[in-house]
Amino acid sequence: MTVAKNGRTLRTLKVSAGKKDFETWNGTMVVLSKVPTIRMNSATVGIFGPEAYDLGAVKWDVQLTPSGTYAHAAPWNEGKFGRVNGSHGCIGMSTSDAKWFYDQVHLGDPVTVVNSVDTVAVNNGYGDWNVDWETWKKGSALD
């Protein structure tokens, strides 16, 4: 993950994003909230059965969609960072990298994911960033 400010790269972080069938949303999302610690339970996002999880005290959480996409510390995936995607859709990183990222971003900052499968829906946060100009004009007085 490349973190940039004003077009200048600040740092490159090794991450593990969503695995097959749980891919991280492609496209631009916006930082909706930040909390230093949160409990993540798969039932809240409709994941049950063998893929279910209940993680207490997940650190340095940056919320990107109302549907539950976060960038956060994921020390349980340490061997996967920069090598393989192994999450249920979140962007996981080391605890120290997650803390650094958490300290850098602000509410409203855009976060763009590339090379994934499906683009985040326009109604899943501030997904308007992912609408091309022609489609945008069709819903306005400009057309």
Per-domain residue ranges of the chain: 15-119
d(CA 100, CA 16): 16
pLDDT at 141: 67
* Domain over 15-119 is classified CATH 2.60.40.1180: no
> 72, 94, 125, 127: which is the annotated catalytic residue?
72
> 15, 90, 111, 120: which is the annotated catalytic residue?
90
Does residue 40 carry a pLDDT above 80?
Answer: yes
Does residue 22 carry a pLDDT above 60?
Answer: yes
How confident is the model over 62-76, as pLDDT tens digits?
999 999 999 999 999
Average pLDDT, the chain: 93
Does residue 139 carry a pLDDT above 80?
Answer: no
pLDDT at 136: 79
Query: What is the side-by-side strand order in the sheet with 33-41?
Result: 15-16, 91-93, 70-73, 54-63, 33-41
Does residue 143 carry a pLDDT above 60?
Answer: no
d(CA 86, CA 36): 22
Which amino acid type is present at position 14? Answer: K
> Please, are residues 118 and 26 in contact by the beta-carbon 8 Å criterion?
yes
Q: Which two tokens stand for residue 51?
A: 């893929």
